[in-house]
């Protein structure tokens, strides 16, 4: 009897990791199905999102975010009558920040370019996570604004770690958290997603609030329109010839914003969030 009991305990211990892996796979599979299914997600080759960033004190900044497979993204945003650009062409990140005194294209600092590369993943980290070299773990359930949510830890191939909270009822992402080192300093941020609406048979968030974890201050993005598979030329994303090297001041200014976005693995609207942080930095600089 004792031998059988011990055998049962040993077998349970050996099988526990496999059971957990199956549970993680089930949660992710339900998440993908809730968003419209793998076939529809994979059929989305390009994406264009338009909306506005709520900067506080009555300030708003219209934005347009574009994405194209395999890994290209571009965000344009208007502030103080000037248009800024942040883009990634699959290899290089670059930007134009006129409200920060930089009217010519400039390469992004390495940390910010890395963030843009992650945001260029149109599917997000959970789709094809094994093929991407990521690791996922289910950490149980946790209450998020009064609702039960699965807590999924994602360790990306590059070593960055984030946590995605998936609503236990709708199976859609409702929150994400993460840490990131910017120029040697670690920042922790969180993003809350909401107002899901159906677009071309897929469920997509139409609001996003981001900020430092534990802080009451939030930057909100309201998405007004999402277009699936619009015609987007590669030239929109390619780094222009003669782009200036990244400058130290640019890294300092935009690094703060990128850190606050560390948690946002919601891909589609994430690039706009990075832009929101940069606009906020520009607003502070303008006041000074």
Angle at 175 between CA 127 and CA 75, to 5 degrees: 70
Contacts of 32 (CB under 8 A, 6+ apart): 38, 41, 126, 127
Classify residue 135 as left (phi > 0), alpha (psi -120 to 50) or beta: beta
Question: Which whole-number Å values give the CA distances from 185 to 39, 180, 192, in the listed order?
Answer: 40, 8, 23
> What is the per-residue pLDDT for 85?
96
Neighbours of 199 (CB within 10 A): 18
The domain locations on the chain are 2-287
Q: Is the dihedral of CA 27, 139, 127, 223 positive or negative?
A: positive
Alpha carbon of 15 to those of 9, 10, 11, 152: distances in Å?
10, 9, 6, 20
pLDDT at 263: 27
CA atoms within 13 A on the CB side of 10: 6
At residue 110, the pLDDT reads 86
Reported as type and span, the H/E element at residue 47 is strand 46-56
Please list the rounded mean pLDDT of every run of 10 residues in the chain (288 residues): 52 50 85 97 97 84 96 93 95 92 91 87 95 95 93 92 95 91 76 96 95 84 97 97 78 33 34 47 48
Name the nearest CA neighbour of 110 among 42, 188, 182. Answer: 182
CATH code for the domain defined by 2-287: 2.50.20.10
Look at residue 212 and give its three-state secondary structure: strand
């Amino acid at each position: 009897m004792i031998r059988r009991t011990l055998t049962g305990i040993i077998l349970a211990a050996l099988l526990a990791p496999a059971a957990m892996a199956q549970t993680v796979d089930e949660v992710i599979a339900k998440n993908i199905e809730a968003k419209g299914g793998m076939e529809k997600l994979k059929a989305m080759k390009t994406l264009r999102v338009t909306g506005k960033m709520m900067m506080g004190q009555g300030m708003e900044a219209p934005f347009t975010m574009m994405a194209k497979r395999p890994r290209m993204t571009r965000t344009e945003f208007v502030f103080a009558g000037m248009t800024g650009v942040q883009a990634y062409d699959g290899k290089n990140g670059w930007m134009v920040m006129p409200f920060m005194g930089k009217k010519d294209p400039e390469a992004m600092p390495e940390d910010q370019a890395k963030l843009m590369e992650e945001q260029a993943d149109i599917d997000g980290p959970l789709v094809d996570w094994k093929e991407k070299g990521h690791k996922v773990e289910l950490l149980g359930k946790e209450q998020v604004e009064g609702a039960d949510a699965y807590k999924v830890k994602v360790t990306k191939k590059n070593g960055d770690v984030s946590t995605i909270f998936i609503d236990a009822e709708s199976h859609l992402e409702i929150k994400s958290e993460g840490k990131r080192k910017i120029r040697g300093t670690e920042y922790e941020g969180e993003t809350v997603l909401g107002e899901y609406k159906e677009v071309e048979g897929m469920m997509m968030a139409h609001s996003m609030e981001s900020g430092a974890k534990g802080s009451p201050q939030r930057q909100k993005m309201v998405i007004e329109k999402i277009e699936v598979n619009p015609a987007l030329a590669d030239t929109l994303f390619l780094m222009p010839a003669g782009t200036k090297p990244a400058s130290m001041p640019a890294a300092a200014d935009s690094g703060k914003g990128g850190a606050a976005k560390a948690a946002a693995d919601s891909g589609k609207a994430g690039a706009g969030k990075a832009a929101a942080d940069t606009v906020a930095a520009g607003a502070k600089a303008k006041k000074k």
